[in-house]
Structure 1
């Protein structure tokens, strides 16, 4: 039994960060993969603690340690810009078959396959990192560089790659009891880098939200896991107690980190006959979480056109979710405050988000050509169609998972047109162009007045 305080701490931190990334953006492949990589590493720590003394499990433990690096290479693949689809196919159809064949060979006792798996994981990780740094424009933004995101990704990737390869060369810099837990440091650096990049992309603050999640998870882990740790110290490292310690820590951290989605799941069961109440509760929970992610004191007037357009684009993508709109810096627009004052509405986070949503809807409506028709396919309709039907109506023409059966005849015509006539990349470009128009309209009153000479 090779459990240690360092191993438990590494497990708790990686388990928490993995769950945090998953809960932060369950719909984003890069966050899902980052979270899965951290959770896979946490699982490797548990297996090592429980079976580290069993030589017959050495091959399986080695495979478990390498897999998080392979998963993390898939995180970087999502940052390849216009080459993302090609890189994604290579990652799925080339790298993973090599990894699976190597893993099976290792489990079958082929020692040479260890080098193949470790090399494949390390090379894929570093190639993915270089590609992401070269292709993803947001990683080159001054604000992202100032936050240290590229540095975190580079250092974390290099350390993780070295941690996989060096032991195979016979160079043991640290005892095994420390080397495996310290791999978690590399993954934590990568996780922080991805979280910072996502926060920048969303126009959100990260520190307060992440610190709140960490403190509550750590407190729960100490309160509940500490009891099992005391029992281990007093009675010795029994297998049952070691398993209980890791299980309690995992459960305590998960209950705190995933509190919001767990409450949502419970509401869907308990309040299934009261959908309005369920939606209201979910909206309030999302708004409460979003407040911790709201960037404090964002000077909208000081933002350049590109940054303001990016924030507008992100707000449009959250059009149907008031909870997420709460965290948008655009809720501090003068137009929002003025609309609240004109309507004597309470100045609350959800109230500001609702007004911002209304302003976005009005801007989108002004893009509609004055032809008297509800839908058209000519050039003058492209900006309106790209925003209205995608964000306001909520159709997803290229998604195989999102099937709407409640569309009216106009929306069905639009959906058929998008599917048959508009490539996905073209729609994306139209949305960007339309977002620039909406952003310019929202930003107009922020511009300083021009005084005649």
Structure 2
């Protein structure tokens, strides 16, 4: 093993593994982020295999797998309102399994077939590019995918471009660009800030790569053993996971360390959520410049995350004129109150019923504000009033999941439009007054 191999392999593995964990940490429920993270993880494992066993065909296979997940990330960026979206996702999953089998079975040159789903995903993304934000994402993804394809061709075909590790490093940079573009798209979709959170995380990742990476490089070079190589890369993976997912790991540690002190655990969890939310909150003046379409989406997301205090602290809606608190935690709590009040206004007059005019109120109040799940197998009715029990029983018997979700979207759109009207008709001096109060509070506190 030459000195170049561990000198390139360790930083490549460390940074791509960190990037994968960072994407998962931003939102594990977002398909594009998860699939991009899977592409980076497959590449990182491929780097380990290539370092430990240079002639193993498994390394080539693992370096082709990111193309399949990249195709999935591309189709996950398509608008959710697209009628064919579910069929496209299922098609991607089926084709990925099929092409993965082909990649495993074919010789090196034939493994380039993994680029076919990626090309198809990019074609679909270009077809609906007018509905993708930011607009530069399709073009940027296409450029990065083209460079990735060129690198894969140089790696699998008998083309001499110098050291194969330089080609592998170039592929890693392309995949990192993929992760960055998907993170940018996700930040715009949820109305969060990316730069501050990314700078903090990448600074920690760079320091960890230097502190842990240098001893790892020397250990791999000195031992020249596959077992030692695997152990060293495992150590690097654990460190980079801790850097990227420090918040969730801290909360897990608190649950283990403070099992007998519920109040302390909850207080620390709230403070940790606040610390994570602050770098991701947008500047206050951005809300007034938000487009109506984006505002409607932010409102639907806030209602979806009604029970998640950490996500509400990052919501742009914490800057609504109706939210008059200054501290981020208090603002998130008051946003809950504002949303609950707007949902209550959907309640028709008269005694509770399950008629058509009640559908939006029932879908939002019981399933989002109260957080009840009518479809869970073990139904818990303890502490619920008669209306809640009646609503849950009715939904369970007569309302399919898809219909309930449609009612929730419709109800959330009604709430969003009313909040939008309040925002656009508010006294324009509210933002200046609030900023003055915030500065005064910061100076005094």
Instruction: Please confirm whether the aligned pair reaches a TM-score higher than 0.5, indicating the same fold.
Output: yes
Matched, 1:37 2:31: no
CA contact (8 A) 1:395 1:404 kept: no
> Which segment drifts farther, 32-41 or 433-442?
433-442
CA contact (8 A) 1:79 1:135 kept: no
Query: Any idea what the Cα deviations from partners look like across 1:220-240, whole Å, max 9, x if unmatched?
Result: 22123223435667x585656
Cα deviation for residue 185 of structure 1 reads: 1.2
9, 13, 18: which is aligned to 2:20?
18
27, 45, 48: which is aligned to 1:46?
48
Q: How does 1:435-446 map to 2 (within 5 A)?
A: 435-446=412-423
Matched, 1:405 2:380: yes
Q: 2-side partners of 1:176 and 1:274: how far apart?
A: 55
Query: Any idea what the Cα deviations from partners look like across 1:194-239, whole Å, max 9, x if unmatched?
Result: 1111111110011111111111122122123223435667x58565
Query: Any idea what the Cα deviations from partners look like across 1:333-377, whole Å, max 9, x if unmatched?
Result: 22212xx4xxxxxx311001101110001000111111221xx33
| Aligned structure 1 segments of 4 or more residues deviating by more than 6 angstroms | none
Cα deviation for residue 257 of structure 1 reads: 1.2
107, 110, 127: which is aligned to 1:134?
127
- Structure 1 unaligned spans of 5+: 341-346
CA contact (8 A) 2:15 2:205 kept: no
TM-score calculated relative to the size of structure 1: 0.83
Closer/same/farther in 2, CA of residues 426 and 175 from structure 1, 3 Å limit: same
Closer/same/farther in 2, CA of residues 208 and 435 from structure 1, 3 Å limit: same
Closer/same/farther in 2, CA of residues 152 and 262 from structure 1, 3 Å limit: same
Q: How does 1:167-206 map to 2 (within 5 A)?
A: 167-206=155-194
TM-score calculated relative to the size of structure 2: 0.85
**2:90 alignment counterpart:** 89
Q: 1-side partners of 2:153 and 2:396: how far apart?
A: 47
CA contact (8 A) 1:10 1:181 kept: yes
Q: 1-side partners of 2:398 and 2:83: how far apart?
A: 21
Closer/same/farther in 2, CA of residues 228 and 83 from structure 1, 3 Å limit: same
353, 366, 372: which is aligned to 1:389?
366
Q: 1-side partners of 2:370 and 2:346: how far apart?
A: 15
Query: Any idea what the Cα deviations from partners look like across 1:13-38, whole Å, max 9, x if unmatched?
Result: 21110010111112233322221221
Q: 1-side partners of 2:200 and 2:271: how far apart?
A: 18
Matched, 1:118 2:119: no
Q: 2-side partners of 1:171 and 1:206: how far apart?
A: 39
**1:344 alignment counterpart:** none
Cα deviation for residue 128 of structure 1 reads: 1.5
**2:345 alignment counterpart:** 366
CA contact (8 A) 2:10 2:213 kept: no
146, 151, 155: which is aligned to 2:143?
155
Q: How well do the aligned residues superpose, as a CA RMSD in angstroms?
A: 2.8
Q: 2-side partners of 1:386 and 1:131: how far apart?
A: 33
- Structure 2 unaligned spans of 5+: 428-445
Q: 1-side partners of 2:128 and 2:393: how far apart?
A: 33
CA contact (8 A) 1:76 1:128 kept: yes
CA contact (8 A) 1:17 1:38 kept: yes
**1:77 alignment counterpart:** 75
Q: 2-side partners of 1:406 and 1:79: how far apart?
A: 39
CA contact (8 A) 2:60 2:156 kept: no
Q: SS where residue 326 of structure 1 aligns? A: helix
**1:326 alignment counterpart:** 313
Q: How does 1:230-269 map to 2 (within 5 A)?
A: 235=222, 242-243=229-230, 245-269=232-256
Matched, 1:355 2:334: yes
> Which segment drifts farther, 414-423 or 122-131?
414-423
Q: 2-side partners of 1:422 and 1:138: how far apart?
A: 31
Q: 1-side partners of 2:323 and 2:238: how far apart?
A: 42
Matched, 1:377 2:364: no
CA contact (8 A) 1:79 1:136 kept: no
273, 292, 296: which is aligned to 1:305?
292
Instruction: Give the aligned length.
Output: 420
